[in-house]
Amino acid sequence: MTITCERIDDLLFEGDAASLELAETHARGCLACREKLDDWNDISRTAKSMQTTWPSDTLWPRIQRAIANETRSRAPMILRVAAALAVTIGLAGILAYALHLHHEKQKAFDQAILRVTALDEVERAEKAHLIAINNLEKLAAPKLEEPQTPILVSYKEKLMLLDDAIAECQTNIDHNRQNAQVRKQLLSMYSEKQRTLQDVLREGNHVSNP
Amino acid sequence: MQAVATLTRPVNRPEISPAAEFELLFRTHGERMKSIAYNHLGSVSEAEDAVQETFLKIHRASDTYNGESSFSTWAYRILINTCYDILRKRRRRGDEESIDANPIERTASTVDDAKRIMLRRLLESLPEQRRTVFTLFEIDGLSHAEIAETLGITEANSKWILFSTKKQLQEQWRKSQ
Ligand SMILES: [Zn+2]
């Protein structure tokens, strides 16, 4: 088969042994394609030589320790969030009210999610939460740095737990961006965080303006 | 380096404990993961941190792994996202990309270090996806099917990205020598 210079790129695109052999045959009689093919092969050869390995006997023990530490320090997420909520709110009545609100929100959210099926819209909602949270975090930072009251201490703990839960959720989303259930969880955690930060700011005002 | 084992799920051997299973995953995929991380980050210590972080993330999310993709490509995807996070943090801090001076064993080759350094510099200037496709195919030996699954793109797209990236590198190759 006669190969023209124009076909060289097609052969390089295919990239299999047979195509590269055809390109090689043409390049033997064509200086311009010879140069091109030499560079092409040189890049591949250099790349292959960059496959890297080094002894790292301590890496697996390190990973094992990190996993063990994390497993020890992590009660099941739901218990931790529940504990934080219980500590924060304290009163069963308020908890029931919160659950009712949550249920209502959940219903509203479920309806909303039916309408908002496009992933980019969910992402826009996440971004809006993040902007609000960033602003609130800036405002709440001085109060949370050295919490002055027990309730601020519990809010701080709750926010830390929420941050852990959010990170865990984001890991799951990295794995599957289309998972509506996880994205829904993330959005509700963002809402919870936003609400908690607002509570912190209100609490801060009680402290400074009794 | 070992071939990519395509486990259908991370824990699929009832006769061994989950801890032993996890270690087996590290033994099977760890070397290639270290190489992928190194070729994104250019630093041995950061590459090891990225692999450790990836195994922690895998451990946290292992009960949500749905077996839709092979375990190896799932792990590589988490690893690459972890590397991107490290690179973004580095850029935000205004740090230079690092190229480790640590002694590293490479596969036997007659290619000189100057060429490797030049290629690494050229790769650093590429957009993330191009750099990743090139690295996974040309350096770490993944197939287009594996790259497609890892990055959530089509095989044809992977092939096209590799070709156009190599064309771009080819134009700069001779000038840079
Ligand atoms: Zn020609």
Provide mean pLDDT across the span B69-79: 88
Pair of tokens at residue B55: 């195994």
- CATH code for the domain of B75: 1.10.1740.10
How far off is chain B from A80, nearest CA to CA, in Å? Answer: 16
Asked whether residue B88 carries a pLDDT value surpassing 80, the answer given is yes
Answer yes or no: are the C-beta atoms of A190 and A129 closer than 8 Å: yes
Domain count, chain B: 2
* Residues B71, B130 within the same domain: no
Pair of tokens at residue B70: 């092979």
Asked whether residue A168 carries a pLDDT value surpassing 70, the answer given is yes
* Residues B22, B94 within the same domain: yes
Q: How large a percentage of chain B has pLDDT more than 70?
A: 77
Domain that holds residue B26: 1-100
Q: Which amino acid is at B160?
A: W
Asked whether residue B8 carries a pLDDT value surpassing 50, the answer given is no
Q: What is the pTM of this model?
A: 0.60
Helix A59-73 × helix B18-41 angle, to 10°: 120
Cβ of B78 within 8 Å of Cβ of A171? The answer is yes
For B53-119, where are the E strands, in sequence order? Answer: 105-106
Helix B44-61 × helix A59-73 angle, to 10°: 40
CB atoms within 10 A of CB B47: 27
Chain B residues whose beta carbon lies within 8 Å of the beta carbon of residue A33: none
* Residues B17, B52 within the same domain: yes
* Residue A67 sits at the chain B interface (C-beta within 8 Å): yes
Give the integer Cα–Cα distance in Å for B125 and B96.
12
Question: pLDDT grade, residue A115 (50/70/90)?
Answer: very low
Chain A residues whose beta carbon lies within 8 Å of the beta carbon of residue B109: 45, 48-49
Give the integer Cα–Cα distance in Å for B40 and B136.
10
Handedness of CA B62, B66, B72, B74 (dihedral sign): negative
Looking at residue A119, what is its pLDDT?
Answer: 53
Q: Is B135 exposed, middle or buried (0-12, 13-18, 19+ CB in 10 A)?
A: buried
**pLDDT, greater one: B163 or B109:** B163
Provide mean pLDDT across the span B107-125: 82
Question: pLDDT grade, residue B81 (50/70/90)?
Answer: very high
B128-157 pLDDT tens trace: 999 999 999 999 999 999 999 999 999 999
Cβ of B139 within 8 Å of Cβ of A51? The answer is yes
Give the phi and the psi of residue A52 in degrees, each rounded to 5: -120, 140
Domain stops at, among B47, B70, B100: B100
For chain A, the structural domain boundaries read: 7-48, 112-208
Cβ of B55 within 8 Å of Cβ of A67? The answer is yes
Interface with chain B: mutation pick from A49, A69, A77, highest number of B CBs within 10 Å: A49
Question: pLDDT grade, residue A200 (50/70/90)?
Answer: confident
Asked whether residue B98 carries a pLDDT value surpassing 90, the answer given is no
Chain B residues whose beta carbon lies within 8 Å of the beta carbon of residue A67: 22, 55-56, 59
Asked whether residue B167 carries a pLDDT value surpassing 80, the answer given is yes
* Residues B75, B9 within the same domain: yes
Question: pLDDT grade, residue A138 (50/70/90)?
Answer: confident
Cβ of A15 within 8 Å of Cβ of B163? The answer is yes
* Residues B39, B12 within the same domain: yes
* Residues B63, B86 within the same domain: yes
- CATH code for the domain of B160: 1.10.10.10
Phi-psi region of A29 (alpha: psi -120 to 50; beta: other; left: phi over 0): alpha
Candidate from B34, B106, B174 with C-beta closest to A39:
B174
* Residues B137, B62 within the same domain: no
Answer yes or no: are the C-beta atoms of A135 and A197 closer than 8 Å: no
**pLDDT, greater one: B155 or A1:** B155
Is the ipTM higher than 0.90? The answer is no
* Residues B31, B60 within the same domain: yes
* Residues B73, B127 within the same domain: no
How many Å is the Cα radius of gyration of chain A? 29
Query: Would you mind telling me the total number of residues written for chain B in this entry?
Result: 177
Q: Which amino acid is at B68?
A: E
Candidate from A45, A51, A62 with C-beta closest to B106:
A51
Question: pLDDT grade, residue A152 (50/70/90)?
Answer: confident
Chain B residues whose beta carbon lies within 8 Å of the beta carbon of residue A182: 64
Cβ of B120 within 8 Å of Cβ of A50? The answer is yes
Domain stops at, among B100, B135, B163: B100
The alpha carbon of B112 is separated from its chain's Cα centroid by a whole number of angstroms, namely 23
How far off is chain B from A41, nearest CA to CA, in Å? Answer: 10
Cβ of A47 within 8 Å of Cβ of B115? The answer is no
> Which of these ranges, A9-18, B40-49, B78-87, B103-112, has the smallest mean pLDDT?
B103-112
* Residues B22, B89 within the same domain: yes
A-chain residue closest to B71, CA distance: A175
Cβ of A12 within 8 Å of Cβ of B166? The answer is yes
Looking at residue A208, what is its pLDDT?
Answer: 38
* Residues B73, B145 within the same domain: no
Question: pLDDT grade, residue A197 (50/70/90)?
Answer: confident
Provide mean pLDDT across the span A80-99: 62
Q: What's the distance, Cα to Cα, between the start and end of chain B in Å?
A: 30
Give the phi and the psi of residue A81 in degrees, each rounded to 5: -65, -40
Domain stops at, among B45, B66, B100: B100
Candidate from B26, B39, B57 with C-beta closest to A60:
B26
Looking at residue B67, what is its pLDDT?
Answer: 63
* Residues B123, B86 within the same domain: no
Q: How large a percentage of chain B has pLDDT more than 90?
A: 56
**pLDDT, greater one: A49 or B69:** A49
Alpha-carbon distances of A23 from A5, A27, A197, rounded to whole Å: 9, 6, 64
Asked whether residue B51 carries a pLDDT value surpassing 70, the answer given is yes
Query: Chain-wide mean pLDDT for chain B?
Result: 83
Q: Is A2 exposed, middle or buried (0-12, 13-18, 19+ CB in 10 A)?
A: exposed
Q: Which amino acid is at A1?
A: M
Chain A residues whose beta carbon lies within 8 Å of the beta carbon of residue B141: 48, 51
